[in-house]
Amino acid sequence: MPTAKSFTVFGRGNGLESCISRVPLNFRFSPGSSNEMWTTLAGVNSNNPVASQDQIDESLRLAYKLLYNTYQFKGSCRAYAIEDGEPLWDETVNDIVLKKTGAGDEGNNATNPSEPIDRVCNSASNFFITDSQRIRVQARISNSIGLMTHNGEIDGDLMGYTMFAPFFSPLCGFFGNRGFGGSANVSLHTTDSNLQIEPPLPPVSSRIRQKNAFVQLGEMHFIAKCLVDDGENYTVILEPENLLADSRIQFTGGSGSVDTLDASSRSEITGIDFYTYS
């Protein structure tokens, strides 16, 4: 992994541009949200909302590591379509290297990665978005670190620290669209404020299927959201626990202008790479 130059940052005495806020877990980040599903970066979550001081301290260490040391989110996204034996498109994007705000879109070969020192006192400086026709990948690492409190009160029981992506976006997401109405998306979150917590899966006729799960990448804990299109002639993989989503449609002897079709989109997240220091 790349080596970054060591530096010292004081900020508000905490290495950030502002004081860390306490966030009660009934706080609504967006209309309809309830934070029914949440996790700290150390793994204290809504299934087991009891935190030791060691877990709280560990979650703060991980929040700073995610903010200052993240180099890239590892994963891949592929979308292709073959119609009547003729390839229409086949696009792949691998990994998301964080880059600086305002640097333009150089695709996945960005020449201006965001180094740790670039993140000092910058609330949302580190992102990456592709300009692919069939694939969108994004990452947003920000200074929005919060201390979660339980029981719906600012001074409630302390659960630990986490990071909130700005504008209700995921911390990281791989989104594939093969065309023909077919998508396969996987993304990382820390609360359900920007997740639709799904009741039992809707019937196939409604097409969209979604599942969420708690996951761990290295030392860090997140919520994974997976979404796929489903329907007749579809084969789907919907595994948030494995950070994998796949939606493929195949048919022969179709009606209309298309006789055969093989189209697929597949997205997965496999890890996070971090800077080391000189």
From 272, 249, 273, select the one nearest 261 (Cα to Cα): 249
> How many whole angstroms separate alpha carbon 213 and alpha carbon 139?
19
Please list, in sequence order, all residues whose beta carbon lies within 8 angstroms of the beta carbon of residue 253, skipping any fewer than 6 positions away. 259, 260
From 77, 132, 143, 145, select the one nearest 105 (Cα to Cα): 132
What pLDDT is stored for residue 87 in this prediction?
92
Contact 264, 91 (CB under 8 A): no
- The tokens describing 234, both together, are 């579809």
What pLDDT is stored for residue 131 in this prediction?
58
What pLDDT is stored for residue 237 in this prediction?
94
From 111, 117, 79, 85, select the one nearest 97 (Cα to Cα): 111
What pLDDT is stored for residue 37 in this prediction?
82
What are the phi and psi torsion angles at 128 (to 5°)? -155, 130
What pLDDT is stored for residue 108 in this prediction?
44
Q: Give the residues across from 138 on adjacent strands.
A: 129, 173
Q: What is the pLDDT along the chain (278 residues), one digit of tens a residue?
A: 789 889 887 766 677 767 787 877 655 544 444 557 889 999 999 888 889 999 999 999 999 899 889 999 999 999 999 988 899 989 898 988 887 655 444 444 445 778 888 777 665 445 556 657 788 888 877 777 888 876 655 667 888 988 876 555 788 888 888 666 578 999 998 877 555 434 344 444 457 888 999 999 999 999 999 999 888 888 999 999 999 999 998 888 765 667 888 999 999 999 999 999 98
Please list, in sequence order, all residues whose beta carbon lies within 8 angstroms of the beta carbon of residue 94, skipping any fewer than 6 positions away. 75, 76, 108
Degrees to nearest 5, angle at CA 98 with 95 and 103: 120
What pLDDT is stored for residue 200 in this prediction?
41
What pLDDT is stored for residue 187 in this prediction?
92
Q: Give the residues across from 81 on adjacent strands.
A: 89, 263
Tens of pLDDT, residue by residue over 35-57, are 578 899 999 998 888 899 999 99
| Other beta carbons less than 10 A from residue 25's beta carbon | 20
Give the count of alpha carbons within 13 A of 60, CB side only.
15
Estimate to the nearest angstrom the gap between the alpha carbon of 237 and the chain centroid. 18
